[in-house]
Structures are given as structure tokens and as C-alpha cells.
A and B are shown apart, each in its own frame.
Chain A
């Protein structure tokens, strides 16, 4: 009875991938899934009885129904604590000395720390958010939960996911359990459900134990698919720390994220209930490169794009139409691949790009050095080209496009993607 009372909603599985055939799409069945998964795993009946008895011991007499609701809430508290205790031995504090915050990008001034990181390997890899190193500090130290302090070396940053990897000279460290992500080909998001409880841990307020914030998973597939969304309170106090489930498994790493780029983007949303987390499967994509000192930079085509209205599909969405290349960097990946001004981008890696947001969504998760397949329309003909994306420093200036009369309605998207 009590367990049935924990029923909660689950949201949608991811439906955005047009390429996923209908039968493969995940429709969450109409389950009564409690926010903490299978509650029975956590609460043995005697525990519930003990909690219910405890509820009576309060200073105010309680009605029976109230006691039932109270004992539920108390059971929740217990499970939050138990989950946090499992991961706490892997949550480290990061102290930085020196450096200064870049002036561009944000009006937020980072505090003096400490900040948070998560032990990634027993031999001293520490995963954190790039936000925590925004000052480009001269010295980084890592304080383990047992109080030991090590000098940390910054191995690499991931500009796409706002992650960074540190290395300390230590061994035998306690690594946390991560959620199981599906084997290749399945939708990894199936490991996480909208509506499930999620707990964020951080070391940003100092002290021996991590601070805790509780919320639910609010959305999947955010930030061009790079992040999950939670309404747990994320802030500089726990950026770089783990978001965990009620089994004490790491779902992902909390990072500030906005549509802008840079380590500070999105920090203005701190504690708002809109928080982003790089999920386990995205961390995996990044961590191997970071561990060998290979930083991931955002990859660009080196073109400017303007959106042109198409008469063919007036009901295809807000201001959809063709994406016409209005300028090409000299040099640039686009130039090297033989793209020409006036080409209209039709598809990227086989997926249609009817609008600028579609294009952005497909290119934003790509790192410099990655190859993408572009299909463009040139004089009624469709051409396939392969482009190796590059960092902005390797892209030359883009000649100012002559604004075509029919393109005046929408301003060209400059220097992007």
C-alpha cells in the first residue's frame, strides 16, 4: 500500500531523433515509478515501521494519515542520505591559487572556492567542471575526503561539455559507481528517466562532508544533446560534482551551461532549478581524450550562413527554409572541402537541417578535428562533401557577404557555426 503511494510520473523518452524508427522509440509505459526507482530496494518493512513509530514521537500529536505521509517523507530523507554517503568518499574539493577571471562572457565573478571534483580513476584522475578553473590558476590542489591534499595538474579541458580533467599523484582512490549506459546503438538516455530523484553533491562550502541538493531529472537531450536537465539546485557550490541517483550511482557531472560558449556561460542560472549535467555516456566520450591530455575544442565549418525563405514549405516551422552559405573563411574547413558561396546546406550526416537551430544542434557537439558529411544544393544539384572541422584560430577572415534582397528578412548568422 505504502509503496503504491509513491507513484510518480515518468516523462517522455527521447523522441527527437528522426532517424530512430518508430518501433525503436522508447515510449515509457504508463508506470507507477516512484521517484527513487524501486523503493523496495531501499526500505525494508521494519524500517518503515520504525520510521512510523518515530513520527509519533514528535512533540505534536499526529493523525494516522498524517503519520503515513510523514513516514514517507522520512523514508525519502533516509534514502537521500544513504545515496549521498555512497558517493561522498569520491567527491573532492579543489582549491586554486592565483590567476584571474577573463573579463569577457559574464558579469558573474567567481568566488574564492573551494570547488568540487569527482575521483574518476583510482590512480588519480579527477574530473571537474571547466568553470572551476576559469581563472587559469597557477596552482591547483585537490583535497580528498580523508583530508589528504595533493597538487593537481590540469591535463585537458573539454570546451564542448565544460569539463576538465586533473591528475594527482595518488593511488588506491575510491571511485564511485556510474549508472549503466546501454551498449552502442541503443539510446543511452534510457538509463535515466524524467521524474526520477536526483541528488547533487558539492564541496564548495568547505567542510568535511559534501553539501547536498535534491531534485528530479527535468529533461533529457538538452543543450544539443550534450546535457541532462535537473531541478536540483546547481551552483558554483557543486559545479564539477556528481549528480547521483538514489542507488548512489553517478548520473553525470554538474556544469554551468548556456547557449553561449565559455566556461562562465549559464552560471547566472545558479540555484534556479534549471541545471545541466553532462551524463555518463557523454563523459565517457570525453574522458578518454582528456586523460591523455587531449583538449576538445568546438569545431567550426568557417562559414557565415543566412536563412532564406523557401516557397516550397511554408508550413514547415517558424522561418524555416534554406540555409545558404553567405561567406567562406579564407582559409577554412569549408574552403578546403570545396564548398562555395551560395551553396544551400541540406543535410549533415544524413540528417536534414531545415533551420539554423537544427544546424546548430548537429554541429555544437562536434569537436575540432572531427569529420562531418555535408549535403549541399548547388544549382539544382545535390553534392556530398566531407569537412574536417577546425578551431577558430585556424580559420581566416570571412569576406562580408553582399546581402541579397530576398535574405533581408533574417539577419545572417555571423561567423557560425
Chain B
């Protein structure tokens, strides 16, 4: 398995200032795979450099490319001065250690995987960075950069950290088999930094393009010469070119598409997703239905013309049928590595009980998020946000059914909302009948403690559409803490307990995700994106299920949404005045203590330096003012002050402000 790292290549351009990427060797004589966008800067000379984990740097030659699918093949020429005495298990001089190709169709959501590559060009010695994670989704579609380029069809989504520089590097299963080429990731808010959503081109797609790539061609993608459309749940041929593979196969307009390339077809989008994995000239089996008869045909796909200066495409599409590379030997001693994390079960439970929400996109607000089904009649808990302020708020369940949503209850303190789903979209004129949905139990506290695995199941970056399964991000419970946070520049109202996790849940669309334990039990609901007051970082947290059930009780008893306890009664009175001369970033020294105030009773003196209040560090006067603004009369303010070289703990009970 140590061979995995030896197959990884750190790719550089001739210009040392230019960005680089990663690649993976798949034959002993140095053929390797990477992304097209990694070699795009080398097309003039077709030359670059490839560093391997033994510290050697080799000449790299760019061979064929696939601009649409973001693939490229390269060949390394062994560096001169190769080590004449390779250590055991290392490739002999002049040859390379290839990665064995796996079968990406057997990859399942929840499988452990690891990614290798050279993110941020950190590997000064060309040893790859290894990141570990799980498969978050399969058969994903990611739109192209511009026009018909760099489209990721039928790709593998992972929560292993994928960052700039990982591009072109390998995704391995736990047996060290190559199952994908990491090519892109969802970045937002944080700029070009990983947030737990990376995408790899599946190796089974790559295998079909290898012959053309190896021949140094610009490999074009395949086309049926026909378009399909969704009619209800049927996928039907709508238009066709006269001389197209589709018409040659005897397909007629109106025929229903059942299977393509060995996959059942449920929607027009899914068909495009599958089609994108085939190069022009590929022989593909198609099954369509006319009347009630299923007809099976094999056709060769026509080309979707592509152009790239300096590259020719395959004139007679002969390479598509040629043999792919001789397979690299399987891992020497295939150890029975357990790929299954045991997360798939919890994910399945959670996926059926979590909805995709689509609403208003106002200003910088993303118009989508997630929601958790808490009652079989279609009650959904989600984060209170502008997304809900839409006339046509819609929820999409795991089976693709679209529901109308109505906001039943808003909780301004907890920043939660309760929604009622009703009637599927199609049946507007049908009389409303009660829904029967699978729901989470939100009444029992989930028995999780720090260190426990948890899964965040939701729709960050709206990667999933319709009936596509949601994204799953694994993490552990980092701890529990009282929330002290900002949303934008405003203090976040909720100051109760939250569950902190080490999965990134601070992404657009994550709000309202279900946080579940290994058994699929609801642990919490992911809240809105906020910044921690303590660390000033985006916080990855969920409101614990205890708070969710309190919210549901409030909603049921139809009480007014409870305001923040801190804000309801106005701030309590302590009687401390800090020195406030000059700039606000100053030391929190006590300037004076009011006569008869709680502070005086507790023994606070002028010139005391406030170190912390209620366990929160106070580093400047403004921190103290902000913290106290959230406390009401009757609450305790525990101060740690420094007086001379002494540290003192003083307890105040806040009172109502004195009347003047």
C-alpha cells in the first residue's frame, strides 16, 4: 500500500512561478493522468516537470487531452542519475510505480477513501499530502467552467480535503486502487480553501478516454444526435438529427429511454450525466421502449466537436475501440482493508428524513438550504433565514417529490423555523390528503459525547438535485459550548448550548442539515453560518436536539416565539464603568463603581483590570460592554479581575437599572 504514494506526481510548469498540480502514474514506463486544467499552461511546449515521492524530478511531456472532461495524459522520462540501489519495494531505476486502476462503479457513499496530491505546492520534497475522508456522493454532476469545457459528469464527491494543487491527483480506495482523478472542489466564502466538498472524475470514465489520450489526441465526447425530455417520470426522445447514431439505431421520436451504457435512466439530466462519461466512437448499449416492447441496440456515438490549437482529434474515431492500457498489476498483497465506515446506514436513515429547501435568494443570501422532517405529517425544522421569505418556498424530499411549504412558527431567539409541507407539486387540484413521511424523533436527547462520529446530512452548495441523495460530511463531536457568535456584523441571538463538530458545516445550503449519530438518530440541526466571537472563524455547529424539542414544544403551545432571554428584559445593571477615553480597543480597567450597585456589593474596585467575565476572556473594554448587554437582571456576572499582581474572582448578581 505504500506504493500508492509512489505513484503520485507533483506537476510543475517550466516557469517556476506558475501554479502546478498533481498527477498519478498508471504504467511502469511513466504514463500518467492529470487534469487538463493542470497542463493548460504547458500546451505551447507540451513540456513540464513531474516530481515523484522519491525526491526525483522528471521531464514531463503532455500527450492527449480531453478539454470537456478535464483530463490529460502525460509521460514522464526518468530523471538522469536514478538511484542505482532502490530500496525494497521501490521501482527499479528508469521505471515507475503505477497505481492499479479500480472500478469506480463499486464505490458506495460512506466508503473510506484517501486523496493524494500537492495542495498549495507544500511538498518541497515531492512527497504527496494524504487526506482521508469518505465518499459523500456518487454520480454527481458539476457544471463546466465556460461553455462545454471542464464539465464533471457522473463524478465522485468526497469530504477528504481537496485544495488547489490537488488537481489531477489520485483518489484511492482503502486498498490503494485508483478510483478517481481529483479535479475540483466547492469553494466559497473562504476563497480557495477546502470546505469538505471535493469532486473526482470517476476512473471508469477515464478508462474509456485513455486510448485516445495515449495517442496524443484531442479526445471528443460522444453524442446520440438526439435530445430527450422528462415527461412525468418518463424520459422520452424529443428531437433527433437525420443522420445520427440514434436514428441509425432505429429510435423514433416518442420512444422512451430505459437504459444507457448499462445504467437505468430516470431523468433527462441523469442521462446527460451518464452520456458525458463516453468518448465519441464508443460502442454503447441502449435500451428503449416503444409501445410496451423494450428494444436493445448497440450504437457508436457521434462526436461533439471540440477544438484546441495544436491538437488533432481522432478522424475516424478508431481509438475508442482500441484496447485500453494493459492493466497495472493489482496491489501486491491485497489486504482486506475495510472500506465500509459503517456510515452508510446512518446516512440512508438521515437522507430519507431530510429535505432540500428552495426559496428566496436575496442579496448575498443563497436561495437554498436544508431541513429536517420531525413529524410524519410533513413538519420540517430548519434554520430561520431569508431563504424562507419566499412566496413559493419548496421542499424536495429524498424521492424527488416536491412539496409546497408554509412557515408555521418562527423562533427569533433560537433562529429556527417550523415548516408544514403540503401536497406534491403535481397534484395541485387534488384534494389535500395527510402526508405520510418518515420522520426523525426529535424528543429524546441524543447520547453523543465528544469524540463520537457524527454525520452532517444536507445540501451544501445544492450539489444534490431532485431525487439525488444529499451530501454526507463526516466528523466528530468536538465538544459542547455556549454559542457566542456574529452573523455578519450583528450578534447572533442564540446564546445557548451548541454541539461543535469538526466537519465543515459552515457552507451555503448547510443550514438546516441533520446532524446524526452512527445509528441515524438526530443529534442536532445545523444552524446558520456564523462567526465565533472567540476565534473569529466560521463556526461548525448544530443546535442540540434538546433545543429542537424545546422549540417544538413552544411551537405546539403556539406561544409567541420566545425572545432571547437576554434581550427580552433589557440588560441588567452592574454599576461598573470602564475607562472609555480614546480609542475603544483599550484595556478593560474599572474607572468607577457606582454606589450601592451590585459591583460595589461584590467588592469591585476602581483600577481593577477585568480579565474574564462568565468564563469569556475580556481582552478589551468593548468585549465587556458587548457581553454585559446580553445579561439581564437577576443573572450572575462572575468576574476575574487583576488587582496588583493578584487575581480575584468576584460574583455579582445583576439588578434592575436604578431609576432616575
> Hey, which bits of chain A sit against chain B, CB under 8 A?
4-12, 14-16, 18, 22-23, 25, 27-32, 35, 55, 58-60, 62, 65-66, 68-74, 76-78, 80-81, 84, 93, 95-100, 108-114, 135, 137-139, 141, 149-151, 194-195, 204-207, 209-224, 229, 231-233, 235-237, 268-274, 315, 317-319, 355-357, 361
Contact = CB atoms under 8 A, between A and B. Distances in A.
Contacts of A271: 504, 537-538, 540
Contacts of A221: 124-125, 127
Interface string B4-26: 11100000111110000000000
B3 interface: yes
B163 A205 contact: no
Interface in B425-482: 441, 449-453, 475-482
Contact of A204 (B451, B535, B609, B620): B535
8 contacts: A9-B4, A30-B332, A97-B611, A111-B534, A237-B535, A268-B193, A274-B120, A274-B122
A219 B5 CA distance: 11
Interface in B495-552: 500, 502, 504, 518-521, 532-538, 540
Contacts of B343: 73
A141 B12 contact: no
A60 to B, nearest CB: 6
B342 interface: yes
Contacts of B120: 269, 274
Contacts of B615: 206-207
A237 B645 contact: no
Contacts of A55: 518-519
Contact of A273 (B49, B161, B451, B611): B161
A69 B79 CA distance: 44
B467 to A, nearest CB: 22
A314 B612 CA distance: 62
A163 B523 CA distance: 37
A40 B128 CA distance: 29
A111 B87 contact: no
Contacts of A233: 502, 504, 540
A211 B500 CA distance: 8
Interface string B313-350: 00000000000000000001101111011111100010
B535 A81 contact: no
A391 B191 CA distance: 34
Interface string B600-621: 0000000001111001111110
Given A68-B342, A77-B476, A221-B125, 11 more contacts: A11-B128, A16-B124, A30-B2, A30-B332, A59-B519, A97-B618, A111-B536, A205-B478, A212-B476, A222-B122, A274-B122
B611 A60 contact: no
Given A95-B611, A97-B587, A15 B336 contact: no
B642 interface: yes
Contacts of B587: 97-98, 138-139
Given A206-B482, A271-B538, A27 B193 contact: no
Contacts of A76: 453
Contact of B2 (A11, A65, A98): A11
A219 B129 contact: yes
B578 to A, nearest CB: 12
Contacts of B5: 9, 11-12, 194
A97 B642 CA distance: 10
Nearest to B622: A112
B188 interface: no
User: How many of chain B's residues touch chain A, expressed as a range?
Assistant: 35 or more
B535 A205 contact: yes
B338 A69 contact: yes
Contacts of B586: 98
Nearest to A100: B585
Given A60-B345, A98-B620, A5 B642 contact: no
Main secondary structure of the interface of A (DSSP, over half): loop
A99 B193 CA distance: 30
Give 7 closest A-B pairs by Cβ, nearest first. A273-B161, A16-B125, A69-B342, A111-B536, A58-B519, A5-B338, A81-B451
Contacts of B535: 111, 204-205, 235-237
Contacts of A80: 451, 476
Contacts of A65: 340
A14 B194 contact: no
B242 interface: no
Interface string B185-197: 0000011011110
A141 B647 CA distance: 9
Contacts of A139: 587, 609, 611, 642
B16 A355 contact: yes
B161 A5 contact: no
B609 A205 contact: no
A72 B536 contact: no
B537 A205 contact: no
Contact of A319 (B16, B482, B533, B647): B16
Contact of A220 (B48, B127, B536): B127
A28 B53 CA distance: 13
A214 B194 contact: no
Given A77-B452, A112-B619, A222-B122, A274 B57 contact: no
Contact of A25 (B2, B87, B538): B87
A356 to B, nearest CB: 8
Nearest to A83: B451
A138 B341 CA distance: 49
A237 B537 contact: yes
Contact of B127 (A14, A96, A97, A317): A14
B123 interface: yes
A214 B478 CA distance: 9
Contacts of A216: 130-132
B417 to A, nearest CB: 26
B309 interface: no
Contact of A112 (B344, B480, B534): B534
B647 A150 contact: yes
B340 A111 contact: no
B519 A273 contact: no
B479 A269 contact: no
Most buried by A among B126, B475, B535, B616: B535
A81 B450 contact: yes
B14 A97 contact: no
Given A111-B537, A139-B642, A77 B453 contact: yes
A96 B537 contact: no
Nearest to A137: B619
B640 interface: yes
Contact of B616 (A16, A96, A206, A220): A206
A165 to B, nearest CB: 20
Most buried by A among B89, B476, B532, B610: B476
Contacts of A214: 451, 475-476, 502
B83 interface: yes
A271 B161 CA distance: 10
Most buried by A among B5, B477, B647: B5
A219 B502 contact: no
A27 to B, nearest CB: 4
Contacts of A150: 647
Contacts of B344: 66
A81 B645 CA distance: 38
Interface in B293-327: none
B628 interface: no
B164 to A, nearest CB: 10
B82 to A, nearest CB: 11
Contacts of B502: 212-214, 232-233
A211 B478 contact: yes
Nearest to B20: A318
Most buried by A among B16, B130, B533: B130
B43 interface: no
B468 to A, nearest CB: 23
Interface in B79-117: 79-80, 83, 85-90, 114
Contacts of B161: 231, 272-274
